[in-house]
C-alpha cells in the first residue's frame, strides 16, 4: 500500500489519560509498506516537577532524564511537524490519542482532531482467533514472530507496532482493502463495534 503512515506511541506518568502527564513521544514512518528507521522521532518532555512514580521502572525515564527533557511546547510543535498530515497508527490508539489531545490543548491551545488506525482493532480482523485479545501487542509480536528485545520505551514500542503494521498492510488485500482510506474506515468501524458491545 503506497504512502506514508506514522506509528505513534507515548509514555506517561500513569494510565489515567484524564489526569496523568505525557512524559515522552515516539513516532516512526512506514512508507510504501516498509519501516523507515531514518524517518523517526523521539522526545522526552521536561517535567516540572519531575515525576517519580511506579511507572518509571516500566519505561525507564527517570527524574534526571525528565529534567533534561525538551520544553513541552517545543516538543509538541516538533511532533506536529514530524507527523504532517499523514495517517496515524497505534496499538490501542485511544490512549495515545487522549494523552496527545490533552497535552496539545494544555501547552499549545491547539485542537488535535485526527483519524487513527488502531491495530488492536484491525489485527484481529486480519488473523481471526490467532491471538488472545488480553495478550496485547506482545501476543501479536510472538504470534507473527516479530523480534523485540526490550519494550515500553516509546520509540521501541513504535518499532514493534510499525512491524505489526507492515504485516497488516501485507494482509490487507485478503480483507478486500487496497487503499489507506479503506483501512482507516475498517479501523473506525471495528472500534465503534467494540464500543457498542
DSSP string, 2-66: -SEEEEEEEEESSS-TTTSPEEEEEEEEEETTEEEEEEEEEEEB--SSPP-STTHHHH---HHHH
Q: Is 115 helix (H, G, I), strand (E, B) or coil?
A: coil
Domains of the chain as residue ranges with CATH:
4-196 (3.30.420.10)
Q: Is 144 helix (H, G, I), strand (E, B) or coil?
A: coil
Query: Grid coordinates representing 161?
Result: 507496532
What are the two backbone dihedrals, phi and then psi, of residue 52, each rounded to the nearest 5 degrees?
A: -130, 70
Alpha-carbon distance of 157 to 28, in angstroms, equals: 10
Residue 63, number of CB atoms within 10 A of its CB: 13
Task: Note down pLDDT in tens along the chain; length 197 residues.
Answer: 889 999 999 998 877 888 888 999 999 999 999 999 999 999 999 988 666 665 554 556 767 777 788 999 999 999 999 999 999 999 999 999 999 999 999 999 999 999 899 999 999 999 999 999 889 999 999 999 998 766 667 898 999 999 999 999 999 998 899 899 999 998 888 766 554 34
Alpha-carbon distance of 161 to 156, in angstroms, equals: 9
Q: Which residues of 77-96 are buried (b: 16+ CB within 10 A; e: fewer)?
A: bebeebbeebbbbbbebebb
Q: Model-level pTM?
A: 0.89
Amino acid at each position: 500500500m503506497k504512502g506514508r503512515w506514522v506509528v505513534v506511541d507515548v509514555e506517561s506518568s500513569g494510565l489515567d489519560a484524564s489526569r496523568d502527564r505525557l512524559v515522552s513521544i515516539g513516532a516512526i514512518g512506514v512508507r510504501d509498506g516498509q519501516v523507515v528507521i531514518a524517518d523517526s522521532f523521539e522526545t522526552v518532555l521536561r517535567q516540572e516537577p519531575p515525576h517519580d512514580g511506579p511507572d518509571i521502572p516500566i519505561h525507564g525515564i527517570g527524574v534526571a532524564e525528565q529534567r533534561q527533557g525538551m520544553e513541552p511546547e517545543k516538543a509538541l510543535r516538533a511532533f506536529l511537524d514530524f507527523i504532517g498530515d499523514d495517517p496515524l497508527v497505534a496499538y490501542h490508539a485511544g490512549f495515545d490519542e487522549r494523552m496527545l489531545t490533552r497535552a496539545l490543548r494544555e501547552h499549545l491551545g491547539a485542537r488535535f482532531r485526527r483519524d487513527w488506525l488502531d491495530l488492536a482493532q484491525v489485527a484481529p480482523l486480519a488473523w481471526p482467533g490467532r491471538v488472545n485479545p488480553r495478550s496485547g501487542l506482545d501476543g501479536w509480536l510472538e504470534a507473527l514472530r516479530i523480534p523485540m528485545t526490550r519494550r515500553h520505551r516509546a520509540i521501541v514500542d513504535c518499532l514493534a507496532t510499525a512491524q505489526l503494521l507492515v504485516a497488516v498492510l501485507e494482509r490487507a488485500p485478503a480483507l478486500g482493502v487496497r487503499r489507506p482510506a479503506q483501512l482507516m474506515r475498517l479501523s473506525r468501524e471495528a472500534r465503534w463495534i467494540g464500543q457498542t458491545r
